[in-house]
Amino acid sequence: MDEIARYNLERWRALTKADALFTRPYLNLDADSARARIDPENRLGEIAGRDVLLLAGGGGQQSAAFALLGTHVTVVDLCEEQLERDRQVAARYRVEIETRQGDLRDLSSLRADAFDIVWQPYSINFVPDARAVFAQVARVLRREGIYYFNCANPFVNGLTEKDWNGEGYLLKQPYRDGAAITSADSAWVHNSSDPIPRPREYRHTLGTLVNGLIEQGFEIRHLSDSTDFSPDPNAAPGTWEHFTAIAPPWLSFWAIYHP
């Protein structure tokens, strides 16, 4: 494990302990709400029986949803405490979920051509080289398989609602691929009153994301820049709702592996 992984693992352990948003398992799903959680626009179609890799997807959210939809789920995550949540939802719903501790930059313990879907919730920004991740995904995904990932919008990466300066949200950090990004956590992330140092994040420019996918044989089928966190341009400046209406924080890519 390198220094980046060691540092971020400690952060995720602390976030899990503090019951942070992305560490709370979904314990009350049924088939309809499971589909709404992972695929509200029905881009996946019928997936029962498919092999799904949840990449850096521990925490017992998407694993529960995919398992309830009848898929064979494998979760890879750096953090055992997050994977424990996936084992918890497997017991809760009486489904099989395979959990593997590992780094998303090294999937060599997985067979090549083993998955129909690779689903990667927000995590690629925890490593400096997005292209290295795309190469790993291309190896384990079957031809015509689906790759979904969510990431930081590179143009506003590092900004938060706290950056309101009376006129706008001031961009200060260089637009450079692989640059380490520092920013404060939003107040809604965890319930702990003690500050928890954030995981280390890295910017991936739009050129790297798009060209990196193309170079590995992916076809981009859809790109979403909308947020499901209720953006509101009329909200008070400096609030999360106003900030996300001005600076959409995330992108989601849907791609097909078609080398």
79 binds ligand SAM (CB under 6 A): yes
Adjacency order of strands within the sheet including 97-101: 97-101, 72-77, 51-55, 115-120, 141-152, 250-257, 218-224
Tokens, residue 194: 């003690």
Cβ-contact 97, 90 below 8 angstroms: yes
Stretches 29-37, 75-83, 88-96, 237-245: which one binds ligand SAM (CB under 6 A)? 75-83
- Region binding ligand SAM by CB under 6 A among candidate stretches 31-39, 74-82, 157-165, 226-234: 74-82
Residue 7 found at the interface with ligand SAM (CB under 6 A): no
Query: What type of residue is 224?
Result: S
Query: Of 71, 74, 82, 244, which lies in the binding site for ligand SAM, with binding defined by CB under 6 A?
Result: 82
Site string for ligand SAM, 99-138 (x = CB under 6 A): ----xx----------------xxx--xx-----------
Distance CA 185, CA 133 (A): 25
Q: Give the DSSP letter of residue 204.
A: -
Cα–Cα distance between 7 and 230 in angstroms, integer?
32
**Quick check: 22 binds ligand SAM (CB under 6 A)?**
yes
Task: Pick one of 38, 53, 59, 119: the residue that binds ligand SAM (CB under 6 A).
Answer: 59
- Beta pairing class for 51-55 and 72-77: parallel
Which residues are near ligand SAM by CB under 6 A? 5, 8, 12, 22, 56-59, 61-62, 77-79, 82, 103-104, 121-123, 126-127
